[in-house]
Structure 1
């Protein structure tokens, strides 16, 4: 019986994939935007008819969420990529300004090492492949072990279609032997230009140790504030729809509801009427016992419905329950809800006014959600502005559901499955990641003025410099005359100062 070391095999495969990606990178450097776009549209067309099948497979393989919501998510991403990437220029001449005689040329970064989560494997893979090809980069995927088969199938479909349209082999590829060692080898490879970690927190340390530039698309348990002027019914509907979608696995979905006291009673009534179940102390203790206390999470209970969780924890809830809610007063050091809960569970707080709510949200952002996303429901523009200016967060959403607003479905943010955050100081951007995050800009500029004369560098006095600046449009003779006038003024001032000093000396 032959023994095969899976870890070594994964590392070796990673090295081979990176070598092929390196060859593809050289070829892609010569591609025009138009040629890249032909490959992109071929990818999108090829996978369009497989989105439902892949949604079913991903739900079955991972055990997270439900295939219906995953199919909706796949379709949303497909539609968004088709619309938002059309006409966008990322490489070559991106911008030209005849007035200032400047230009910007987009240059691909090279090779992207992309880490794909188990929660949204198909939509994330489709998104990252699309923006990589659009921006002329090669991309090598490292799937979460729980989603390896689904990601590999998705990448194979995309790569075959793109290569048939002219993309070089190796430009879109995926680890077949999935393991931490292989993923680490991808990230730390000398040819790797950028690492994108979309919602794989267990590999953040390895990402940091790779020494490569990192885009960290984190999963943030987002606070949402319902202010007293809000349309409470609409706000609650958005919150529950967002939190329950795909069993609470979307990156920016609300986890903490902070209600203004004047709106709290109505908010609670609406939550109850729209599918929320408020747990008592015993039920809550049972749920925490199931999920794991103080931030530790049992992954087998992530991505499950509220009804399933309640049954597993041992207490009954109505069959139409969409979210489980724990009403809390304080944020304690021992907080069982710290960190992201990838399941339809909400924590409900009540604060006296928007200023106290502001402090509560700050505490939640700093201590628990790592500055990912914050939502406010309000019609008070002053309060909204205060939240916009003060919160240490990657994105603030107003009167919209967090999960859909953050990924650009219900807002005009760039449609993205990789939402940059401020997670533990990691990552180089808090943007909704786009193809423009995968290129650097080469600047070109034409000369528009002559070299300034020596007088422009004379620091003998501000008056002289102002004269030079004021005379920037004068002829050479006029400019020289202006400088001589300034010199005479300074000389006059010097003489007057000297006479005053002599008179003071005589008086003494």
Structure 2
């Protein structure tokens, strides 16, 4: 029976890829105006359906907070749309009259969108908008624990796109979710590029599929509270970032690094705003339930509030606790909470100065989250700028990390796929936009003449044929000896 289901899922994958490719060939002939009309209709439909899609995602996955999922859906539907709506993506993009070069955008073809369970409907909305804006079709491979809500979002977007003039089949989604079907899509000839958001294993598989791919790594973002920081705002921002949808965004804060001179004030402010500092014994108990022996996170506690975690760990926390904070003396295998935690738990370290904070931040990112995101709260611009040279793709200043990283509270491109650069084996360090999903061809006119000079005749040789024959004879005679 399982084999039959796998075969059926593989066939579905092939059918969806074929239909999307046929539709994309038609879409590739559309003007920028026609594309923009379709994308606008998709955005409008996603806004109108944001609430019930969020409810469906929360009910199906049991992750996060319903109200925050609504905000994420609206972020994908509105903020992303506002950022991309005036982009030129098809036809002539720009002309350089001085160098006589014309650049034109060409769709890549069909995108495979791998969707996680942590941000299922919002990521579906985002990937559909950026893919069609670039003139591509898209086929979604959902996480099995979020299949229904991802399919529902894809259907909403497909209906809106077709109603606005897009060809039928331009957006597809697997309903029979198996690894066999996902792998079939990755390697299918009608898929041109893979846009992967998910666990490390799936992202690695996407990069191994033999075609272009954009994948994202783990987050595990450290956040440094430097001695010049506005402490009350810094603490508020960190709690806001980590509790947004209960910490399931990959750019969310995972470790606090407190500058030693302000340690007592920061701890007092966290406690005043709902942070609970775990005792050494409580750290061990929380570690055992939140993390697995292999260093991963217990999926049952992804996106859960502090009360759920505390109850599972068998500890008592004050009423109104918003975040659990685990003071740690080290990092790595002996300190499980130093790894990425997509839930309402933060590791905590005290550092003597910004240089030690920098070293520790890099160590934490190398442990997990290389190249992803670092946040700093400081009023010292000289120190802030020191971190530009560090091996990380996003340095976020005085803002919630989770929301700043995706471009909600910063000027970064609004996106739900955050590249980590070659540091983490990612093909980009950008927040992915439609411009990553087009090919750019260039028409170039000659700008300078090639100077040509007549070749000088070879000088006549003074060596005769008889001389050459004599040399050959001597060489052959030497060889016979």
Whether TM exceeds 0.5 here: the answer is yes
Deviation at 1:338, TM superposition (A): 4.2
Q: Which residue of 2 aligns with 1:462?
A: none
For 1:59-106, what per-residue CA distance to the aligned partner results, in whole angstroms no more than 9, with x for missing partners? 000010121110111112222023112211111111112233222111
* Unpaired segments ≥5 residues, structure 2: 456-481
Deviation at 1:373, TM superposition (A): 0.3
Q: Which residue of 2 aligns with 1:20?
A: 19
* Unpaired segments ≥5 residues, structure 1: 458-508
For 1:313-345, what per-residue CA distance to the aligned partner results, in whole angstroms no more than 9, with x for missing partners? 111112211111111122244231243211011
Q: Which residue of 2 aligns with 1:443?
A: 442
Deviation at 1:294, TM superposition (A): 5.0
Is 1:139 the counterpart of 2:138 in the alignment?
yes
- Structure 1 CA distance, aligned partners of 2:340 and 2:332? 16
- Structure 2 CA distance, aligned partners of 1:34 and 1:152? 28
Q: Which residue of 1 aligns with 2:202?
A: 203
- Structure 2 CA distance, aligned partners of 1:315 and 1:367? 28
Equivalent residues of 2:275, 2:325 under 8 A apart = yes
Q: Which residue of 1 aligns with 2:393?
A: 394
SS in 1 for 2:428: coil
SS in 2 for 1:375: strand
Q: Which residue of 2 aligns with 1:279?
A: 278
Deviation at 1:47, TM superposition (A): 2.5
Equivalent residues of 1:220, 1:252 under 8 A apart = yes
Q: Which residue of 1 aligns with 2:147?
A: 148
- Structure 1 CA distance, aligned partners of 2:56 and 2:167? 28
Q: Which residue of 2 aligns with 1:353?
A: 353
For 1:337-371, what per-residue CA distance to the aligned partner results, in whole angstroms no more than 9, with x for missing partners? 24321101101111111111111111111122222
Q: Which residue of 2 aligns with 1:259?
A: 258
Q: Which residue of 2 aligns with 1:7?
A: 6
- Structure 2 CA distance, aligned partners of 1:80 and 1:218? 23
In the comparison of the two structures, how many residue pairs are matched? 455
- Structure 2 CA distance, aligned partners of 1:71 and 1:222? 24
Is 1:125 the counterpart of 2:124 in the alignment?
yes
> What is the TM-score normalised by the length of structure 1?
0.86
SS in 2 for 1:125: helix
SS in 1 for 2:114: strand
Regions of 4+ moved over 6 Å: none
Q: Which residue of 1 aligns with 2:478?
A: none
SS in 2 for 1:430: coil
Inter-CA distance 449–346: structure 2 relative to 1 (3 Å threshold): same
- Structure 2 CA distance, aligned partners of 1:112 and 1:94? 21
- Structure 1 CA distance, aligned partners of 2:72 and 2:332? 35
- Structure 2 CA distance, aligned partners of 1:59 and 1:212? 33
For 1:263-304, what per-residue CA distance to the aligned partner results, in whole angstroms no more than 9, with x for missing partners? 222111111111111011221121112122451322111111
- Structure 2 CA distance, aligned partners of 1:447 and 1:329? 64
Q: Which residue of 2 aligns with 1:484?
A: none
Equivalent residues of 1:294, 1:336 under 8 A apart = no
Q: Which residue of 1 aligns with 2:90?
A: 91
Q: Which residue of 2 aligns with 1:270?
A: 269
- Structure 2 CA distance, aligned partners of 1:132 and 1:442? 18
For 1:390-424, what per-residue CA distance to the aligned partner results, in whole angstroms no more than 9, with x for missing partners? x1112111111111111111111100011111487
- Structure 2 CA distance, aligned partners of 1:295 and 1:333? 7
Q: Which residue of 2 aligns with 1:321?
A: 321
- Structure 1 CA distance, aligned partners of 2:369 and 2:6? 33
| More deviation, 50-59/425-434 | 425-434
Equivalent residues of 2:217, 2:369 under 8 A apart = no
Inter-CA distance 3–125: structure 2 relative to 1 (3 Å threshold): closer
Equivalent residues of 2:46, 2:74 under 8 A apart = no
Q: Which residue of 2 aligns with 1:373?
A: 373
- 1:470-489 aligned at under 5 Å gives the runs none
Equivalent residues of 1:226, 1:378 under 8 A apart = yes
Equivalent residues of 1:295, 1:335 under 8 A apart = no
SS in 1 for 2:375: strand
Inter-CA distance 423–218: structure 2 relative to 1 (3 Å threshold): farther
Inter-CA distance 85–102: structure 2 relative to 1 (3 Å threshold): same
Deviation at 1:450, TM superposition (A): 2.1
> What is the TM-score normalised by the length of structure 2?
0.91
SS in 1 for 2:368: helix
- 1:75-90 aligned at under 5 Å gives the runs 75-90=74-89
Q: Which residue of 2 aligns with 1:232?
A: 231
Q: Which residue of 1 aligns with 2:300?
A: 300
- Structure 1 CA distance, aligned partners of 2:382 and 2:451? 48
